[in-house]
Structures are given as structure tokens and as C-alpha cells.
Amino acid sequence: MIEMIKVSRTYAPNIKALSDISFSIETGEMFFLIGRSGAGKTTLLKLICNMETPSNGLIEVAGYNINTLRGKNLAHLRQKIGVAYQDFKLLSNRTVAENIAIAMEVSYKNPRAIRHRVRDLLEQLQLTDKYDTITSELSRGEQQRVALARSVANSPRLILVDEPTGNLDASTTERVMSLLTRSNKAGATIVIATHDASIYQQGTHRIMELRDGNIHSLTRGGR
């Protein structure tokens, strides 16, 4: 699903966020990116969804060189990638339902199906009563769950999640992880950038640790 070959990302004036990163993620895999703050996790996710372009190297997603895609082709690929950003990127003047629905509206889903899907996701994330709440009125933890719901709403083939449990208590973390696991079992490839050891240590998924923009280790969890 994802192929990265010698990918580097340098910010001006000369700050190396990532250097010579090469790895691949199989379709249907759940993959964890770990590392300290500033290790390059968020940059890596941004490169995968083409929010940023690499300074060097090749990134292929679903067989496409994502940095050469433009216009409709890029838009269609992005519809198949769900992203839960660390800063949530919620529209603060819109309701929870509208924020989640936006991911499905761009691919012209049926309005009734959209409403049904939104209710279903909110129920899974214990946010049923927040359907019509303006997102700026939510707590950080609730906003985080809305961002996550939006990332999985369109049933994407690839889900990128940046710190999904940072503001959540243990039981909500469990709900979030079971939602992601369900999506994974339904065939979605999932990449999770996290600090939270509790969500990756028990599984047998692959874990890649970044340190100062380099791959420090690539192991399998539960060992």
C-alpha cells in the first residue's frame, strides 16, 4: 500500500525532519510509528497524504507516485485516504455531524447514507448526543474523536492517525482502538503515529521507531 524509498524532508533554513527513510507497508496492515516529539512522525504522515512534498525520494501510495499526482487523480486518491490530524482540523463553526459528513460529501455519497454513517460512528465513539453540537464547544478529547470519526467515515483504504489517544482516558482509548481495529479488519491499511505504548505493545503489529528523522528500529509488537 505504501512504499517509501530514500525519502528526506528538510525545512528551511536547514532543518532535517526526515533523512533517507525507506520502508513499505502492506495492504491491510496496521502499522505503528513511534518516537519522541520532533522525531519526524507527523512529517512522515503528512508526506504520505501529500500534505507536504519530500525534498528527496519516492513515495508510492496504492501504486501511485503521490507527488506527481495532480487535479482529479490526486483528489480521488485522497478520497481513499482518511487522516486524523494532530491539530484535528475541525471546522469550528460547524456541527459535529457536518464535520464528519464533509469527508463523504466530497465523494457524493447519498445524504441519507451519510446521516446514517455519522450516527453510527458517533454511537461507536460515545458522542451520540453531540450530533448537532458546534465543534468549538467540545472538549479536546471529544474533538479528537470527531477527527477520528471523520477519518474513517468514508471507509478509506488507508487511514493515517496522528496521536489518536493523546487526550483520552483508558476506556475511550479502547473504543477508539476498537473502531480502528474494525476498519483494519474491513481491509483498511492503518498507520498510527503515537506516544502511547499501551496501544501498540500488546499487538503483533509492526512498529517503526523514528529518532531524529531516521529509522531507529522496525520491530513487531508483543515480543
Binding site for other proteins (CB under 8 A): 49, 51, 71-72, 75-81, 83, 89, 91, 93, 102-103, 105-111, 114, 150, 154
Structure-block grid coordinates of residue 157: 483504504
CA pair distance 72, 215, nearest whole angstrom: 33
Shortest separation between residue 141's beta carbon and other proteins, angstroms: 21
Judged by beta carbon, residue 44 or residue 208, the one nearer other proteins is 44
- Report yes or no: 78 and 44 within 8 Å, Cβ to Cβ: no
Shortest separation between residue 202's beta carbon and other proteins, angstroms: 31
Judged by beta carbon, residue 76 or residue 182, the one nearer other proteins is 76
* Number of neighbouring beta carbons within 10 Å of residue 74: 15
CA pair distance 165, 182, nearest whole angstrom: 17
Judged by beta carbon, residue 163 or residue 208, the one nearer other proteins is 163
CA of residue 183 relative to chain centroid, distance = 12
Return the biggest CA–CA distance within the chain: 50
Shortest separation between residue 33's beta carbon and other proteins, angstroms: 19
Judged by beta carbon, residue 118 or residue 215, the one nearer other proteins is 118
Distance linking the first and last C-alpha atoms of the chain? 25
Shortest separation between residue 171's beta carbon and other proteins, angstroms: 29
